[in-house]
Amino acid sequence: MRTFWSDARHFQIAALSSLLLFNFFLIDFGAKPLYSALAIAAALLTQVVCTRLSGSTRIDLRSPLITGLSLSLLLRANSAWLPALAGIAAIASKFALRVDGRHIFNPAGFAIVLLLSLTSGVWISPGQWGTSIWLASLLVFLALLVLRAAQRSDIALFFLGAHGALLVARAYWLGDPLAIPLHQMQSGSLLIFAFFMISDPKTTPDSRLARFLFALAVAALGYYLAFFMQMRPALYVALIVLSPATPLLNRVIPAKKFEWTPTIQGASS
């Protein structure tokens, strides 16, 4: 049992699955069962097909399950085939777009930005879950950091700190009450972005200093795109635009390469 919970993906699957079940049975966040099932199934099936095509015999469905769950919670569509396409694009990007043996982009983030740029039939969930669910989710995600289940999750705190500071500074500059940036921070989609996208260990820098710089860059670019370019999916675009810098940061500021568990070397994510 200890070995099972030593892998951060098991905590992530449990947390995201719980949120999706909340959506279906308690508080409607906008995720539809059929669309969610198609996104998850497409991600899992694409993982199987791409793994086979790559010549590998070991199929690991944990990370594509996380990707499918993330897409279910974040992406909304007016046609059922679009979530399935998102699942396919997300996982295919892991196998097709790689540098130094690792994929460049967070799969769910890549799929979201790709579909938003190609069709008007998809959009990002507003992410307002209600204060009680948001606070409970924040406490659970912070507990994962305390338990050190994910060795690279410090970047989530770096990003949230930088993002929050920019929002507070903007409110101060405009003379707005602090209630405005506090409300902007209370977004469910922001929590998923921080704890499951920008903190993806396989697509973020290995060095803590590099992760700090990367988080600041994403927060700053996202702020510029949101408030100067009036772009709604600003953070997702910022993450995808800056992700190619990760291999460069790993070379300039080298550190130990991340592995999900010490006993499974080179496991695909």
Angstrom CA distances, 165 to 64, 170, 212, stand at 33, 9, 14
Residue 10 confidence (pLDDT): 84
Predicted confidence at residue 200, as pLDDT, reads: 87
Cβ proximity of 222 and 163 under 8 Å: yes
Residue 260: its pLDDT value, please? 61
Rounded to an integer, what distance in angstroms lies between the CA atom of residue 158 and that of residue 219? 9
Contact yes or no for 41/61 (Cβ under 8 A): no
Residue spans per domain, the chain: 2-124, 131-252
Which DSSP letter does residue 204 get? Answer: S
User: Six-digit token pair at 188?
Assistant: 């469910």
Contact yes or no for 114/163 (Cβ under 8 A): no
Cβ-based neighbour number of residue 231 at 10 Å? 16
Q: What's this model's pTM, rounded to 2 decimal places? A: 0.89
DSSP for 222-263 reads: HHHHHHTS--TTHHHHHHHHHTTHHHHHHHHS--PPP-SBTT
Q: What is the pLDDT of residues 61-80, one digit of tens each?
A: 999 999 999 999 999 999 99
CA distances from 26 to 12, 18, 268 (A): 20, 11, 34
> For residue 98, how many other CB atoms are within 10 A of its CB?
13
Cβ 258 vs Cβ 201: under 8 Å: yes
HSE (side-chain half, CA atoms, 13 Å) at 162: 22
pLDDT in tens, the chain (269 residues): 556 556 778 888 988 998 899 889 887 888 999 999 999 999 999 999 999 998 887 899 999 999 999 999 999 999 999 999 999 999 999 999 999 889 999 999 999 999 999 999 999 987 777 777 787 788 777 766 655 545 667 899 899 999 999 999 999 999 999 999 998 998 888 999 998 899 888 899 999 999 999 999 999 999 999 999 999 899 999 999 999 999 999 999 998 887 766 544 334 44
- Measured CA to CA, the distance from residue 140 to residue 143 in angstroms comes to 5
Tell me what pLDDT residue 71 has: 97
